[in-house]
Chains A and B, each alone.
Chain A
């Protein structure tokens, strides 16, 4: 469909609006016609010369005085008219005063006509037919001459022709002879022909004058007056050509010709519509009367068209965008300048842009994220499918609505804040709880991205909303799990640490308490020994007394131990099915913080070989961890000073009723002389160890219905293996509360 763009008048430099033209439109042409009228003095010279010839021939045949007066009058009029021509040429305002000059010329022409008319009766006073014929022929010839000189301005012609020929015919008719009557008739016919010619010549002249002026105007404006313009025209990539008011090409730049496949010469002067604009894209004819380019030449309204095609010389067509600008000379419409360009590439780019736009749209619609573009007044410019889904509206209907009406005042306030903060260069993120029309509430994280236009003014805010309800739920769950695990670990740590502290304190008290009776026993017995050694056993009663004292002290030691047992007995121990691997892992965390990294100056290589298909084992988690921690700490101190210290922990199902836990190290292993009493209380290789660690471990394991053993492992160091039953043992319950005291 053709579109006329009439809003670009301000862009047009060559043209003016056509409605200015009618009042004064003819003047420019008129001026030119009058200028042509004053172009030549030949007619006046002919008048003067012919008048002189007539006078010479008639001299003696007609009265001399009137003849002389007539000739003088003619010459004076001719001189005056020559003066008029000089004055016209010299006048700076000759164009503005063209109408007066035209009247003046018509007056002069009429005067000449009257003088010639006067010549006829004057000459006819002579009876000589030759003279009479000469004057008739001269008048007729002068009339033809007037036609030639005054064709641009018919009134001037008629001013001459009418009086001269009227008097000639009247004089001829008044002779009342058939020869004269015939001549009069011929003159009449001649005058009639000349009149007819005058009209045609005038029209043809005006037409050609118009055409010439159009091209002069175009050339004057576009080419000749400014070489810069001309060069621009030549160099322009756009096609540019000029049309006259008839739609004919007045000029064409090389680009224009090249684009349509012609040479400039082939186009100049031709009706270009028929060559390159003859059909629509679909091949249907495109009449000149509908052509916007041509319309600009005729109604003076500029037009712009984007969706038409032009046809090349080879018959192919291409999409074109053109602008048709009326061309004015002065205020007279003289044609139009057409600028056009081949927009094949642009169309293709537009097509692919549209395609990618569609893809983008598809993408934004398929994302589970609310995407909307909002202007600075919080009106929605664009909203994706998700946005529509959330607010139960077709997404296409959201554009143009306000954020407030669709998404509610809360979000509107946030968007407004995003706008104001976006202006300050801050990206806004906001978490909102949104109630949706379908009754569900979601927690949505909104991000606002500000877009600034070329003028650095915020024009669009992109709103991205992600439903984080689920994510939050998961995070909360994770957090809860983490907290629970941490609490449990902390609990284990605390009870383990508390227990260790308890044991440490108890050991210290116990050591002091036991030291006293043991020292006494040792002393008493030593005294006995000395008495017996000296052979001074004269007093068995004395020895007996000392033994008695030693026994008393031994009893005292026993009572101390009994007291400790009572103390410890109060704790009840619960068993619960636990994943043993997890128990071990946690114990490792406690015993070897940061994976054993800081456990010694050498990095300990800690290797786990934990079986995945172990059943849950009924254990007391804290006590079991205490055992593992104890064994691991033993291992760590054993491998101190060993190159490439290694600890390996493994679990596996020994048989269907027992799980085996093994802890090995590559330390020096157990000293031979310790082996028989390794698990006995107070046996230690450590300087300040109490030697109760392994004893307690054994107690705990036995209370679990399991057993613990040691040996030399494949790593060359100590290897402790624990067997635990997978089901609760009958004696396990009955032993509750007793086992923990066994080794202390």
Chain B
């Protein structure tokens, strides 16, 4: 198999895997799918890593998506890995980001959204060791936040849900929602994964829990 632009879809659920493949193919993306991480690793011959991408479900029997991502980060660090998470797996996704995952996407997702995210991951190379200017810009964006927003930001990017942030700060989840919207607006980000990336850019200390 010659190296090509390809999305490697890895999901243990046949229906999900198949439907995802059809969905991505309908967006003219070349897809190869595997029912487990082990099958993928066995079949993977190498590819044009800059225009390929791995889309792996976080929960799978055997090797999980997270373990696969770690494995690949060691072997083919240039290959972007996008993690698909289910309900309550947010902190795992953040861990994955910390370990160099390109992105994560929460289930349930809108079909267009996943197509867009996968295309993004395939077209833009992984952020290599973060350029200084990048960090500076990130820091400037973070400086726009009020102290309270900064608190909310710090808690969100380590994988806390809105509710957990609310409990932590002693405020209502609705207030957290408002803060979150302001943070997104000020930092010009969409979704949690971009927030996490921003945090990574400024070198936020991640908690290892």
Contacts and interface: CB of A to CB of B under 8 A. Distances in A.
Interface of A: 508, 511-512, 515-527, 530-531, 546, 549, 552-553, 556, 601, 637, 640-641, 685-688
Contact of A687 (B108, B161, B170, B171): B161
The 10 closest A-B pairs by CB, nearest first: A526-B111, A523-B19, A520-B15, A687-B162, A530-B26, A520-B19, A640-B172, A511-B87, A523-B23, A527-B22
A508 B18 CA distance: 24
Nearest to A637: B172
A242 to B, nearest CB: 101
Among the interface residues B15, B86, B162, which one has the most CB atoms of the partner chain A within 10 A?
B15
Given A516-B16, A687-B176, 11 more contacts: A508-B87, A515-B86, A516-B13, A516-B15, A519-B16, A519-B19, A519-B108, A523-B22, A523-B23, A530-B23, A637-B172
Contacts, number: 85
Interface string B1-32: 00000000000010110111011011100000
Nearest to B21: A523
A601 B167 CA distance: 11
Nearest to A529: B111
A549 B21 CA distance: 13
Nearest to B14: A520
Contacts of A637: 172-173
B109 interface: yes
B179 to A, nearest CB: 13
A527 to B, nearest CB: 4
A372 B112 CA distance: 97
B172 A520 contact: no
Contact of B86 (A512, A524, A531, A685): A512
A637 B174 CA distance: 10
A739 B88 CA distance: 29
B107 interface: yes
B177 A687 contact: yes
Contacts of B15: 516-517, 520, 549, 552-553, 556
Contacts of A524: 19, 22-23
A522 B108 contact: yes
A508 B86 CA distance: 10
A390 B27 CA distance: 102
B124 interface: no
Interface in B140-180: 161-163, 170-177
6 contacts: A515-B108, A522-B108, A522-B110, A523-B16, A527-B23, A553-B19
Contacts of A515: 86-87, 107-108
B87 A512 contact: yes
Given A519-B109, A520-B15, A556-B15, A687 B163 contact: yes
Interface of B: 13, 15-16, 18-20, 22-23, 25-27, 59, 86-88, 107-112, 161-163, 170-177
Contact of B108 (A518, A525, A530, A688): A518
B173 A687 contact: yes
Contacts of A601: 170
A546 B111 CA distance: 15
A523 B20 contact: yes
B112 A526 contact: yes
- Secondary structure call for the B interface: helix
Contacts of B174: 641, 685
A516 B109 CA distance: 11
B18 A549 contact: yes
A520 B162 contact: no
B19 A688 contact: no
B49 to A, nearest CB: 26
Contact of B27 (A518, A522, A530): A530
A553 B20 CA distance: 13
Among the interface residues A512, A517, A527, A637, which one has the most CB atoms of the partner chain B within 10 A?
A527
Among the interface residues A524, A525, A685, A687, which one has the most CB atoms of the partner chain B within 10 A?
A687
Contacts of A527: 19, 22-23, 25-26, 111
B86 A511 contact: yes
B22 to A, nearest CB: 4
B69 to A, nearest CB: 20
A520 B170 CA distance: 38
A335 B2 CA distance: 155
Nearest to B106: A515
A530 B19 CA distance: 13
B75 to A, nearest CB: 29
A640 B175 CA distance: 10
Contact of B173 (A511, A518, A549, A686): A686
Contact of A688 (B22, B59, B163): B163
Contact of A526 (B23, B59, B107): B23
Contacts of B13: 516, 520
Given A526-B23, A531-B26, A641 B173 contact: no
Contacts of A553: 15, 19
A601 B170 CA distance: 7
A525 B173 CA distance: 33
Among the interface residues A521, A523, A525, A641, which one has the most CB atoms of the partner chain B within 10 A?
A523
A525 B112 CA distance: 12
Contacts of B177: 687
Contacts of B161: 687-688
Contacts of B19: 519-524, 527, 549, 553
A516 B111 CA distance: 13
A530 B108 CA distance: 19
A256 B203 CA distance: 114
A531 B25 CA distance: 11
B170 A522 contact: no
A516 B16 CA distance: 6
Contacts of A685: 174
A685 B87 CA distance: 17
Given A519-B109, A524-B22, A688-B161, A641 B171 contact: yes
A692 to B, nearest CB: 14
Nearest to B177: A687
Nearest to B19: A523
Contacts of B20: 519, 523
B54 to A, nearest CB: 18
A531 B19 CA distance: 14
A531 B162 CA distance: 38
A553 B161 CA distance: 29
Among the interface residues A508, A531, A641, which one has the most CB atoms of the partner chain B within 10 A?
A641
B71 to A, nearest CB: 24
A688 B87 CA distance: 9
Contacts of A688: 161-163
A525 B176 CA distance: 34
A688 B161 CA distance: 8
Contacts of B171: 640-641
A527 B22 CA distance: 6
B28 to A, nearest CB: 10
A688 B172 CA distance: 13
A523 B19 CA distance: 5
A515 B13 CA distance: 11
A726 B97 CA distance: 58
Among the interface residues A516, A524, A549, which one has the most CB atoms of the partner chain B within 10 A?
A516
B90 to A, nearest CB: 10
B22 A546 contact: yes
A556 B13 CA distance: 12
B108 A520 contact: no
B23 A508 contact: no
Contact of B88 (A508, A556, A686): A508
A638 to B, nearest CB: 9
A309 B177 CA distance: 106
A310 B112 CA distance: 130
A598 B108 CA distance: 36
B173 to A, nearest CB: 5
A685 B177 CA distance: 11
Nearest to A641: B172
